[in-house]
Amino acid sequence: MPVIQVQYPAASLDAAHKAALGARLTDVLLTMEGGARTPGGFAFATVVFSEVPAADWYVGGRTDASYVHPPGKFLVRVTIPEGYMSQVHKTEVHAQVNDAFLDTLGGRGSAGAGGSILVIVEEVTEGDWGCAGQTISLASIAATVGLPKTGARFQWVRAYFAAKARQFAAARYPAGVGGLFPPSETDASP
């Protein structure tokens, strides 16, 4: 259930650029979901653009382009469920988002190309994501998008949450504190 939010200075993206970026960033989301080009995968793939007044966006203490690299300044927040990505996966997302902007807006080959495209991957703690009035776990998201629970990616997710459960137990966290995978998923064998 990843979400990409793009903040951009006013008048720096027109409707055609947003449409092209929306399509490219949706592709990034689906790739992040393990190639989940399913109805569930498409339903979760959300991209939101937010325009910021140019006078409100400072880089290096200035609102002009003195310290801005091509194709311009953008803040991209990629929100994902906790435990869904290894650092290698996150690094791939950073590169894919940057490429989407450079391919869509140009600037590739320029000095510092992409240097003003800031990409932040933010993890939502297990149990803190909800939809349709229900708390949803990463396990239910994986089922909705069609990520096989027997695959390497889901096995990594299980290992992550099993380790987190051991940490919580060792620290004597109280029962029901949240942030843990459903026990049936943590202990399940492939």
pLDDT at 184: 65
Q: Please give the residue that has the higher pLDDT: either 56 or 143.
A: 56
Instruction: State the Cα–Cα distance between residues 21 and 44, nearest whole angstrom.
Output: 17
Whether 76 contacts 120, CB under 8 Å: yes
Question: What is the value of pTM for the model shown?
Answer: 0.89
Residues 166-184 pLDDT 10s: 999 999 999 888 888 876 6
Whether 147 contacts 36, CB under 8 Å: yes
Q: Please give the residue that has the higher pLDDT: either 30 or 53.
A: 53
Q: Residue 44 is which amino acid?
A: F
Q: List the structure tokens of 120.
A: 């932040």
For domain 3-124, give the fold: Macrophage Migration Inhibitory Factor (3.30.429)
Q: Collapsing DSSP states into helix, strand and coil, what is residue 52?
A: strand
Whether 72 contacts 105, CB under 8 Å: yes
Q: Pairing relation of β-strands 46-52 and 130-131?
A: unpaired
pLDDT > 70? residue 187: no
Long-range contact pairs involving 100-104 (C-beta distance under 8 Å, separation at least 24) = 100/21, 100/24, 100/25, 100/27, 100/28, 101/21, 101/71, 101/74, 102/71, 103/24, 104/17, 104/20, 104/21, 104/24
Q: Which residue matches tokens 């027997």?
A: 150
pLDDT > 70? residue 78: yes
Q: Please give the residue that has the higher pLDDT: either 97 or 177.
A: 97
